[in-house]
Amino acid sequence: MSSFNLNALVRPNVKAMRRYASARDEYSDSSAGMVFLDANENPFESGVNRYPDPQQRKLKEILAQQRGVNSSQMLLGNGSDEVLDLIYRAFCIPEKDNVIVLPPTYGMYTVLGETNAIEVCEVQLNDDFQPNVPRILELANASTKLLFLCSPNNPTGNLMRTDLVTALLNEFHGIVIIDEAYIDFTESESWARQLNQFPNLIVTQTLSKAYGLAGIRLGIGMASTDIIEVLNKIKPPYNVNQLTQNKAADRIAKVKDYETERKIILQERQKLEYALGQSKFITQVFPSEANFILVRVDNAEKRYAEFIDKGIVVRNRSKQALCANTLRFTVGTPAENSKLITTIQEMN
């Protein structure tokens, strides 16, 4: 994208400000032999008496290496939801700018837009759940700062086609966010590999899904160093707490556990896909590249209530565009999935 001008997209107030210089920016606990009398902390060691590293350097190094990007191309947040919120606040002027989302998709893009008083424009996905590129480009105007793509998409489970995403990256004049919360469940390569080709690209990922760490809240944003610098300016200094940084590093070190669980989830997804296809009241099983499966049923409200009666909570997605009478099943443990399958057989 030759004409991309980041400076023109950043909000003027953000451009003008300096980032808060915190006590821990210059010297951190790893600076051996230093006495820290700079941050008004309690000096008695408890493991968490010090403020955490505002730049999460150790954790970023591990995550950046895993993902084949530079640490300077990475921002960590209190969940990827915080990363998405920071993107809004860095680029969108309230009551003036707008963004484009592609329903059916993740609901937080719209909630964050509403929270920040940014108009959220919708361009429904095509019937095959792929982006309608001409319509998106037609709708975008000078005030359209962000375009949210989710791949694999929640709740439909499919990847966005590479040629269509490339076209959007090349032709959309704002920032393109590709939300890869479910990237671990597909064989497809992350768009983070393409950061150097696309200066307008932000890729978000999370440790909440495949890594099994939804409770610690750790999200990842990856983009050009220039974009990351802008986001760093406005992020709360200590947005990722020490316990989260520790736990994330521990879990990533146990790569075998992650791999084992991931493999089981993928096998179970296949097993579920087959079993759901056998049911009489499930009329369509959408292929999934994520850890959930969307199905169309005869009567979603009725079936949802039946599942609740049987002690199984699923997600009714019927109110979303293109999703009339759909339910979304997360892939559970083998025992949980067996219970789901047995229950469905009884419901027939």
Are the C-beta atoms of residues 84 and 113 closer than 8 Å to each other? Answer: no
Pick the closer one to ligand PLP by CB: 55 or 206: 206
User: Does 214 participate in binding ligand PLP (rule CB under 6 A)?
Assistant: yes
CB of 145 to ligand PLP, least distance (A): 19
User: Does 219 participate in binding ligand PLP (rule CB under 6 A)?
Assistant: yes
The number of residues that bind ligand PLP (CB under 6 A) is 12
Q: Which of 51, 88, 91, 106 binds ligand PLP (CB under 6 A)?
A: 106
User: 341 exposed, middle or buried (CB, 10 Å; 0-12, 13-18, 19+)?
Assistant: middle
Two structure tokens written together for 255: 């790569």
- Fill in the DSSP letter of residue 290: S
Q: Is the peptide bond before 237 cis (omega within 30 degrees of 0)?
A: no
User: Does 208 participate in binding ligand PLP (rule CB under 6 A)?
Assistant: yes
User: Does 329 participate in binding ligand PLP (rule CB under 6 A)?
Assistant: no
C-beta neighbour count of 260 within 10 angstroms: 11
- Spacing of C-alpha 279 from chain mean position: 32
Q: Which residues pair with 295 in a beta bridge?
A: 285, 327
Q: Which of 56, 156, 206, 224 binds ligand PLP (CB under 6 A)?
A: 206
Residues in the chain: 348
CB of 185 to ligand PLP, least distance (A): 11
Nearest C-alpha neighbor of 222 from the set 17, 68, 95, 115: 68
Nearest C-alpha neighbor of 144 from the set 176, 110, 170, 106: 176
Q: Which residues in the 224-263 window bind ligand PLP by CB under 6 A?
A: none
Tell me the window of 73-81, 186-194, 321-329, 339-347 that interacts with ligand PLP (CB under 6 A).
Answer: 73-81
Pick the closer one to ligand PLP by CB: 10 or 69: 69
Tell me the window of 40-48, 75-83, 195-203, 335-343 that interacts with ligand PLP (CB under 6 A).
Answer: 75-83
Pick the closer one to ligand PLP by CB: 10 or 87: 87
Are the C-beta atoms of residues 66 and 252 closer than 8 Å to each other? Answer: yes
Q: Which residue is nearest to ligand PLP (CB)?
A: 79
Are the C-beta atoms of residues 247 and 213 closer than 8 Å to each other? Answer: yes
CB of 130 to ligand PLP, least distance (A): 16
CB of 82 to ligand PLP, least distance (A): 7
Pick the closer one to ligand PLP by CB: 236 or 277: 236
Q: Which of 52, 79, 104, 131 binds ligand PLP (CB under 6 A)?
A: 79
288 Cβ partners below 8 Å, 6+ apart?
Answer: 152, 157, 158, 185, 269, 273, 294
Two structure tokens written together for 115: 């929270």
User: Does 80 participate in binding ligand PLP (rule CB under 6 A)?
Assistant: yes
Strands (E), the chain: 74-77, 98-101, 119-122, 144-150, 175-179, 201-206, 219-222, 282-285, 292-297, 315-316, 326-330
x/- mask, ligand PLP, residues 132-161, rule CB under 6 A, reads ------------------x---x-------
Q: Cα separation of 82 and 343, whole Å?
A: 37
Pick the closer one to ligand PLP by CB: 28 or 206: 206
Q: Which of 120, 160, 165, 181 binds ligand PLP (CB under 6 A)?
A: 181
Tell me the window of 50-58, 77-85, 257-265, 302-310 that interacts with ligand PLP (CB under 6 A).
Answer: 77-85
Binding site for ligand PLP (CB under 6 A): 79-81, 106, 150, 154, 179, 181, 206, 208, 214, 219
